[in-house]
């Protein structure tokens, strides 16, 4: 049975072009730091599910309020660069694009997979979001 959840899709950099200009070691380090930051923040806001997909992340929250607070904090922390172990400041040309949709979603029986309109739309909404922005529907 479908219920309503807030799905957030976070797209890091949105394109492959910034990744090609950064040394491989730094790319790996940035992804590790991004994942740690995003997943740590998501757990603080009661994330029910997360799925890392290369340079993006899917998060599912029970409430739209928690999803929006998480999203705004993620943008703020990523742009500040204060989380970086290297102390080099903000990430080079890798803005976050976030999309959030509150709608139906269902956890599949016997696993941690989720399906639903909320999940499908959050990715598309993130594609339409500008850099360092959260687009909500």
Q: Which residues contact 90 (CB under 8 A, 6 or more apart)?
A: 78, 79, 80, 81
What's the full length of the chain, in residues? 137
Q: What is the pLDDT of residue 89?
A: 56
How far is the first Cα of the chain from the last one, in angstroms, to the nearest whole number?
22
Q: What is the pLDDT of residue 113?
A: 83
* Residue corresponding to tokens 């029910």: 48
Is there a contact between 67 and 48 (Cβ–Cβ < 8 Å)?
no
- CATH number for the region 3-136 comes to 3.30.70.1230
User: Which sequence spans correspond to the domains of the chain?
Assistant: 3-136
Q: What is the pLDDT of residue 128?
A: 93
Q: Would the pLDDT of 53 be above 70?
A: yes
Burial of 53 (0-12, 13-18, 19+ CB in 10 A): exposed
Is there a contact between 124 and 110 (Cβ–Cβ < 8 Å)?
no
Residue 111 burial (CB count, 10 A): 7
Q: Would the pLDDT of 62 be above 90?
A: yes
Q: What is the DSSP string of 52-86?
A: E-SSEEEEEES-HHHHHHHHHHHHHHHHH-TT-TT
Q: What is the pLDDT of residue 55?
A: 62
Mean pLDDT for the chain?
85
Highest mean pLDDT among 9-13, 17-21, 53-57, 132-136: 132-136
d(CA 53, CA 58): 8
Among the residue ranges 7-11, 19-23, 40-44, 97-101, the one predicted with the least confidence is: 19-23
């Amino acid at each position: 049975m479908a219920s309503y959840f807030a799905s957030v899709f976070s797209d890091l950099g949105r394109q492959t072009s910034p990744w090609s200009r950064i040394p491989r070691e730094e790319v790996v380090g940035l992804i590790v730091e991004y994942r740690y930051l995003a997943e740590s923040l998501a757990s603080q806001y009661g994330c029910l599910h997360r799925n890392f997909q290369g340079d993006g992340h899917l998060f599912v929250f029970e409430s739209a309020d928690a999803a929006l607070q998480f999203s705004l904090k993620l943008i703020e922390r990523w742009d500040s660069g204060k989380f970086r172990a290297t102390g080099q400041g903000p990430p080079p040309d890798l803005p976050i694009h976030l999309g959030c949709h509150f709608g139906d979603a269902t956890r599949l029986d016997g696993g941690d997979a989720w399906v639903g309109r909320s999940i499908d739309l959050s990715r598309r909404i993130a594609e339409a979001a500008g850099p360092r922005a959260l687009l909500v529907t």
